[in-house]
């Protein structure tokens, strides 16, 4: 048994078999095109852009219909970046003026965007680098025909162990069979963390080397309440965590019964119930809780 400490970003306890994901990376070589190919490459980029926006818009609308405004808001951010005229102009210039392929132009421009975000002093804005990488990956998948791993359908219960999960990957997780996830990278304010909380999936991030410590098929406890991952726990530890999770769910149920009642003491004194939030995405959660 081994215990790893990270950052708990979504509460709850998940106990299941590990599915370890390799880094899903694309290598885009710098390849020049001839001037007469520029128009064709510009059209390839435009089609990839339009198709990605269309797909994200459909996912956003479906999320809104299912009352998942937090996740829909993240996709709105992605759509907004894809529609940004400055970004589009830079990619077009890379193709038209410097004769790069559509893939290389997207890769080059988006990496520059990611570099700008990663250097921001504000940690919330710096975390948006993952969203930029997510957008880049979706465009490149369209351009190269590369198929992303499908996280939406699994046959058995699993916990996912990965170096990192992009926000769109987290949003597409099979809620029935994916019981939790743990990653080497990530932080409390990332959109991936926000998605996990919105979906009620226990998650621990910032574990540094969990992908090297876990093998496929290992039994894993993901404790999002305390930011702990336990590899191959013994029966006593499993029983303790299952009992703790039952207790947490019972408390959640009790609190849910109270949240619509007036904030009033037994002797009739009214209290203003408010919420201390750090980020816009927490507003909806605070309102759901009765603030």
- Strand 158-162, strand 178-183: pairing: parallel
Q: What pLDDT score was predicted for residue 132?
A: 93
Nearby residues of 145 by Cβ (< 8 Å), 6 or more positions away = none
Of 116, 146, 117, nearest in space to 25 by CA: 146
Domain span(s) for CATH 1.10.274.10 in the chain: 35-144
What is d(CA 138, CA 195) in angstroms, rounded to the nearest whole number? 18
Is the domain spanning 2-14+152-258 CATH 3.20.20.70? The answer is no
Domain span(s) for CATH 3.50.30.10 in the chain: 2-14+152-258
Nearby residues of 13 by Cβ (< 8 Å), 6 or more positions away = 180, 202, 221, 222, 223, 224, 225, 241, 242, 244, 245, 248
Q: What pLDDT score was predicted for residue 279?
A: 63
Q: What pLDDT score was predicted for residue 278?
A: 66
Residue 126 to residues 73, 157, 171, Cα–Cα distance (Å): 18, 33, 20
Tens of pLDDT, residues 49-99:
999 999 999 989 988 887 788 888 889 999 999 999 999 999 999 999 999
What is d(CA 200, CA 74) in angstroms, rounded to the nearest whole number? 16
Range with lowest mean pLDDT among 14-28, 78-92, 102-116, 218-232:
14-28
In the predicted structure, residue 25 carries a pLDDT above the cut 90: no
In the predicted structure, residue 23 carries a pLDDT above the cut 70: no
Q: What pLDDT score was predicted for residue 29?
A: 76
Q: Which own/partner pairs from 74-77 qualify as long-range (CB within 8 Å, at least 24 positions apart)?
A: 74/131, 74/167, 74/171, 74/191, 74/194, 74/195, 74/281, 75/168, 75/171, 77/128, 77/131, 77/191
What is d(CA 143, CA 212) in angstroms, rounded to the nearest whole number? 32
What is d(CA 151, CA 196) in angstroms, rounded to the nearest whole number? 14
Q: Let me know: does 181 contact 144? Beta carbons within 8 Å.
A: no
CA-based R_g, the chain, Å: 22
Into which CATH architecture does domain 35-144 fall?
Answer: Orthogonal Bundle (1.10)
Nearby residues of 6 by Cβ (< 8 Å), 6 or more positions away = 182, 204, 205, 206, 207, 208, 210, 227, 228, 229
């Amino acid at each position: 048994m081994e215990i790893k400490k990270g950052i708990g970003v979504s509460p709850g306890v998940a106990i299941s078999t590990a599915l370890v994901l390799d880094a899903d990376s694309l290598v885009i070589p710098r390849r020049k095109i001839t001037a007469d190919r520029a128009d064709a490459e510009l059209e390839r980029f435009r089609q990839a852009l339009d198709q990605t926006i269309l797909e994200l818009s459909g996912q956003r609308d479906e999320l809104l219909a299912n009352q998942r405004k937090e996740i829909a808001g993240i996709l709105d951010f992605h759509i907004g970046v894809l529609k940004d005229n400055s970004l589009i102009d830079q990619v077009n210039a890379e193709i038209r003026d410097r004769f790069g392929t559509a893939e290389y132009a997207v890769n080059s421009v988006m990496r520059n965007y990611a570099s700008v975000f990663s250097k921001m002093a504000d940690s919330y804005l710096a975390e948006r680098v993952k969203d930029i990488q997510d957008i880049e990956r979706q465009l490149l998948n369209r351009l190269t025909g590369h198929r992303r791993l499908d996280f939406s359908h699994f046959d058995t219960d699993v916990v996912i162990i990965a170096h990192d999960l992009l926000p769109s990957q987290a949003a597409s997780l099979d809620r029935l069979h994916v019981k939790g996830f743990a990653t080497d990278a990530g932080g409390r304010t990332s959109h991936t963390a926000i998605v996990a909380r919105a979906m009620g999936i226990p998650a621990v991030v910032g574990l540094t080397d969990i992908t090297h410590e876990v093998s496929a098929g290992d039994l894993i406890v993901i404790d999002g309440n305390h930011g702990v991952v336990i590899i191959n726990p013994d029966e006593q530890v499993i029983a303790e965590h299952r009992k703790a999770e039952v207790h947490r769910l019972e408390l959640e149920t009790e609190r849910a019964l109270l949240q619509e009642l007036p904030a009033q003491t037994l002797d009739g004194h009214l209290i203003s119930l408010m919420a201390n939030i750090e980020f816009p995405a927490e507003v909806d959660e605070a309102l759901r809780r009765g603030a």
